[in-house]
Structures are given as structure tokens and as C-alpha cells.
Structure 1
Amino acid sequence: MATRKLPWINLAAVAAAALAITLIVVKNVEGKAPAKLLNVSYDPTRELYRDINAGFTAGYEKASGRAIEVLQSHGGSSRQARLAVGGELKPDVVTLGLPSDVDVLRKHGQIADGWAARLPNQSRPYYSTIVFVVRQGNPQGIHDWPDLVKPGVEVITPDPKSSGNGKLTALAAWGAIVTRGGSEVAARAYLKTLYEHTPFLVPAARAAGTAFAVEKIGDVHLAWENEALREVAEARGQLEIVYPPVSILAEPSVAWVDANVASHGSAEAARAYLEYLFTDEGQEIIARNGYRPFKPQILANHADKLPPLKLFAVTAIARDWDDAQSKFFADNGIIDTVYRPKPR
């Protein structure tokens, strides 16, 4: 019986290929494979985190030797929190508009207790507030909260059930009454009248800004300060910012999502990403994008764009952010008594 000849095999080449594969596997096990993070954020932070991501990834890759990509998701802050809780989004980090939105994930077991104490300044890398954007020359003479409910004034603001901007607008409007001597009865009546001046309530901040600045609907837009600065800059003289005499101190907050970073193997990168927000470099990027950095000196360096303001804390109208969420925005809370959804 003839002996079947086997094809010639280059054993040296096979050994070399096996060694190369082994080295790749070992390198990946050591944590050198390209990494990805998902940052679930609120609606108007697209430009901010575009710049943050560029600064962070360059420094992280240089320090660690590991490539990293940060993916973004944006929407109304409260809606983003609900999507994360429900599993439609699986963020490594959340960077949301209100501390109470981050705490929703803690209440559902996705973020550890005491999350706010894990980063500087109670995990609040910057502040903001609600201001007014008006048409060139301010034809309606809007300077203070009572001016918003003058006859004929049309107000553009997002839905307080889905948007951090919408929630903060409601809290700022309420506080503008009670912190200046008005009663809660008067504040409730004012909020009801304010919503009667809104033609519709879109789900998130950026859509409200588009309706006002691009589609030219309404007389005044109640906006995050950073959104107001962006809108005015892009409008080339067609819009103006009005700073009301009093508004709310907004405290956007950040956290890594413990349940997800554990399953993704991203805990170290997620923490480094959020820590970058509190560095001088991160704080400068924050200020350049129209947010108020928590470091006083960096804020002072940008006083030409971010002037001193009179802002009241949430404790002027509730015990804390969690209490404000329950008091104003829970089912049958204050908002349910003064507003009806007005989808566009």
C-alpha cells in the first residue's frame, strides 16, 4: 500500500504565528486592548464632552499606553436616567443635569451608596443656572420672572417631566417668588400662569433652543446659561442674554455606574475619565464651554463670559435635591397641579 504524502508544513512559521497570537492574548489580558466608555449625559453637553473627550483620551493614552474611545448619549436628563435604569442604555459613567437624576440609578442598585463623596466637590465638577434668551433689542422688555407672564409673551422651555432644563426652570420660577417674600400659594399660581404662556413643551433642552433660535418661535427661551451663550454666539446679533435678578444654582453631577463598569471591565478608565473633569485642564475646558467650573480661580479667569450672579440653592425651596424631586416632579407633585403636557 502506497504511503500518502502529507503537504510540507513550515513548523517554524506555525510556531511563530502561535507565539504572536499568544502575545496578543497576553497583551489584551493585561488591559492593553482598546477600551470604550459610554457617557450618558444630558441634552446640551454635546460640545462640552466633545472637547473633554479629546483632552482626556490624549492624556490617558499617553499615560497608560492604552487606546480609549468615549462614546456619547444625549437627551433630557431625567429621561436619560430612566433609560439607564431600564437597561436601554448601559453607561459606564453618567454626567446628568441634577444630582437627583444620578441618584435614581443608586435607588435601583446600579450606583453605590455614597457616590457623591467619591469625587471632589460632591461629584459636581461645575455649576450652571437658568437665564433668558430674547430677540435683538428685547422688544418685549423681559428683565425679570414676572415679565414672562405679561400678556402676549410666548415662552419656550422644555418639559419638566423629562428635561433637567425643564425641571430647573420650574424650580427657578418657584424660587423667584418665594425667595423674594412671596407665598407658596403665589408661587403655584405663577407657575400655572407661566405654563399657560408656553405653546408646547419639548422633551429636552436642545430641541427647545432649536425652536427658539432656528425656527424663531416664541419671545423668550428659558435656557441653561451655556446654551444661552452658544445660541447668542451663533445668532450673530439676532439674540441677547438677559440675566434675571435671581435664579437657581444648578448642580450637574457625575458618577461611574458600578454595576456596568464591573461587567464591562472599565472601572479604572471610568474613574480616570471623571477625575479628569476636576483637573485644571478639565476645568478650563468646562469654562470655555460656558459652564461655571467649581474651582474659583478658573471661574474668575472667565468672568468676562461668566459674570457673578445671585443664585439661590435648592435648600431655599426644599430640603435637598431628592426632596425637590419628590415635592415638585413626582406623581401628584406640584408640577402635576399646574401643568399639562403640551407635545409639539
Structure 2
Amino acid sequence: MSKKLAAYIFSLFLSGGVEATTLLNSSYDVSRELFIALNTPFEKQWEKTHPGDTLIIKQSHAGSSKQALSILQGLKADVVTYNQVTDVQILHDKGQLIASNWKQRLPDDSSPFYSTMAFLVRKGNPKHIENWSDLARSDVKLIFSNPKTSGNGRYTWLAAWSAADLINGHNYSKIEKFMTQLLKNVEVFDTGGRGATTTFINSEMGDVLISFESEVNTIRDRYPEKGYQVILPSVNIIARFPVTWIDKNIRQNHTEKAARSYLEYLYTPSAQKIITSFYYRVNNPQLMEKNKNRFPETRFLNIEEVFGSWDQVIKTHFASGGELDKLLAMRHQ
């Protein structure tokens, strides 16, 4: 680049002739690669329709609940793309940062995609893992993220509880026994889903990694030499991935139009195609039919139908003194 051209570009920035819009997406722990793939096409699309305005999308990742807390403590994210409704709702309930009707602002209760829980096992499936009942055997070691800090871990807990409920005919004492043994089998409780993956892959701990279907399939594909296998249990929980713009922050950051357009983009056919390529499920029957080989059938259970509202779920299972705390204490007895 010549000195004259460099000086000209610099003068344009000083004079406001070249603009740049920056969005910060606060997201859950294992979504890095997905949003890297989604961001570039949207940035190019934005710049075509907004000449002279360069768009830069930045990402922040950690456990979904931890991310929500960071926003309540002052992180100026423009949009959130989380993996559980409670982590979005708290931004209204505790911080008045978003509108009360946030779920109605975008289709499908503001969840452009969803997933479920799956098992990643080692080459040849040496422990013969097929379903949730196998995870409570005393010879099986498990890796999954902590339900206290991770949406990934909470969905794992709720899916396992639901399966135990069906297996044991709604007998609470048998469910309690199953879940206690499940907890005894956990070698490491990482704070987030990606930490659990790292423990299973790099530290080579555990016989089974339990994580989102999207994560375990991506890991299998990334390490073909490892011979990992993905097991989808016959009964499962729907894990929805809610999104919203942060009203207070986008007003302060002057990013209203870009933030809304970015989340609306997630529902477009081109974005949904990228999303399914990362093994997330979408509410597009035609696209799901085209990708049916990527998404085996399972019996889906809705959290609200099995457990009641998310507020009730948190109170019963994950609050201090709830089922998780009680059974964690029992596993040492």
C-alpha cells in the first residue's frame, strides 16, 4: 500500500468517511466454531447492503449461566445466544436489560435451533454403551459438565432423570438410586461443555462423554483417527437455544439495527444450512428431511411437560439444597 493511499484511508477514519460497527455475541461454551462459520457470511452480507459500514462480530464464550452473570455485572454484549431459557430470562428479571416479551420477538420462542444429549464413546465402544441405563453401571466412568455452572450439564442431568423416571415407572426411590450411581461414576465435573470435551479428548479420562449431539458429532468428525462413536439414547430431552438482543446495550452501543438483523439472519435458509452442518437441529422440516441421515430418531421429551416451568426446575434440582446437592452428598456415603 502506498503512503498516499494509507494517508487517505486514515483521513477517512478521522473524518467519519469510513464506519465500523462492532457486535459482541455472548454465547455458551461449545458454540465457538458454529458462530465463526455464521459470522463471516453475515459480515459480508451487511457490508453489501450497508456500503461504507464495516461490521465486526466479536465472541465471548463460557458456561451459559456464567455468561449471563457477566452481562448482569456489566459486560456490554449486544446479543446473547444461549442454551437455556433461564439464562436469558434472568437478564430481564435481575437486570431489566431486555424486554419482558423477548421470547415473542423472533420465531419459535426466539430459538433458531435446538439439540439434544448424546454419548461419545471410545473406539469399538468397549463398555458396550447403548442407553442411559448403561451409565449407572459401576464399571463405567463418565465425563460431563457441572449442572451448577453449565446448561450442557443441566440438560444432561434432566435427560438422565427423565430416562430413569421412565425406566423405573416413576418410582422416586429408584430414580434417586440411579442418579446417585450416575454421579458416583463422574470422574470430572468441568465448569463448561468444552472443558468436559478437553478432559475426555486430551486427558483421555472417562469411558463416556455426555454432551450436546452437536458437540459429540463434531468431535468425532474432527478426530477420525481416534475412532470415536456417537450413541444417541432412545429417550432424550429437547435442548433449545434461545437468542435475544440486549435492549439497554444496543441503545448505548448504537447497534440496534445490526443486532436485530444478525439474529434474524440465524433463521434464514443459508444460516440454517450452516447450523445443520454443525449437527444442530432446526425447525425447518424440508431441511431436516434433507439431513435425516445426520439426525437419528429419538423420543423427545419437553422439559416443561416433564418437570414444569424452568423456575420449578431450578428450584427443585439445581438450587442450593436441591436434588443435585442432595444426591451429590449421598454419593459419598
**TM-score, with length taken from structure 2:** 0.90
Taking the aligned partners of 1:104 and 1:290, their CA distance within structure 2 comes to 28
Equivalent residue number for residue 86 of structure 2:
100
- Partner of residue 20, structure 2: 34
Deviation at 1:189, TM superposition (A): 2.6
Q: Which moved more, 1:162-171 or 1:184-193?
A: 184-193
CA deviation map 1:96-144 (0-9, x unaligned):
0111111111112111101010001110000100111111111111111
Deviations, residues 277-306 of structure 1 (Å, cap 9, x unaligned): 011111111001111012121122111212
Give the match for residue 116 of structure 2. Answer: 129
Classify 1:270/1:247 alpha carbon distance in 2 versus 1 (closer, same or farther; 3 Å). Answer: same
Aligned position for 1:56 = 42
* 2:57 paired residue among 56, 70, 75: 70
How far is the alpha carbon of 1:23 from its aligned partner?
9.8
Match of 2:276 among 274, 287, 294: 287
2:179 alignment counterpart: 191
- Secondary structure, counterpart of 1:294 in structure 2: coil
| 1:21 shift after superposition | 7.8
Aligned counterpart for 1:244 among listed residues 233, 248, 271: 233
Which residue of 2 is the match for residue 303 of structure 1? 292
Counterpart of 1:220 in structure 2 is 208
Letter of the 2:223 partner, please give it. Answer: A
For 2:172 and 2:239, locate their aligned partners in 1 and report how far apart those are by CA, in whole Å: 21
Residues 36 and 23 of structure 1, relative CA distance in 2, 3 Å threshold: closer
Residue 186 (structure 1) shift: 2.5
Q: Which residue of 1 aligns with 2:4?
A: none
RMSD, aligned CA: 1.9
**1:90 paired residue number:** 76
Task: Give 2:307's match in structure 1, choosing from 305, 318, 337.
Answer: 318
- Quote the Cα distance in structure 1 between the aligned partners of 2:22 and 2:14: 22
Indicate the residue corresponding to 1:278 in structure 2: 267
Residue correspondence of structure 1 range 152-163 to structure 2 within 5 A:
152-163=139-150
- Tell me if the contact between 2:142 and 2:185 (Cα under 8 Å) persists in the aligned partners: yes
The reply on whether 1:261 has 2:250 as its aligned counterpart is yes
Secondary structure in 2 matching 1:327: helix
Give the secondary-structure state (helix, strand or coil) at the position aligned to 1:193.
helix
TM-score computed with the length of structure 1 as normaliser: 0.88
Aligned partner letter, 1:93: V
**Would the alpha carbon gap of residues 184 and 262 (structure 1) be closer, same or farther in structure 2, given more than 3 Å must change?**
farther
Equivalent position SS for 1:337? helix
Seen in structure 2, the aligned counterparts of structure 1 residues 90 and 339 have a Cα distance that, compared at 3 Å, is farther
Q: How far 1:59 moved relative to its partner?
A: 0.7
Once the 2 structures are TM-superposed, how far is the Cα of residue 151 of structure 1 from its aligned partner? 1.6
2:47 counterpart letter in structure 1 = E
Contact preservation (8 Å) 1:124, 1:294:
no
Residue-pair matches, total: 317
Paired letter, 1:98: Q
Is 1:204 aligned with 2:192?
A: yes
| Distance in 2 between residues matched to 1:122 and 1:184, nearest whole Å | 32
Percentage identity across paired residues of the two chains:
34
Note if 1:166 corresponds to 2:153. yes
Q: Distance in 2 between matches of 1:239 and 1:269?
A: 40
Note if contact 1:39-1:72 (Cα within 8 Å) is conserved in structure 2.
yes
Runs of 4+ in 1 over 6 A off after TM superposition: 20-23
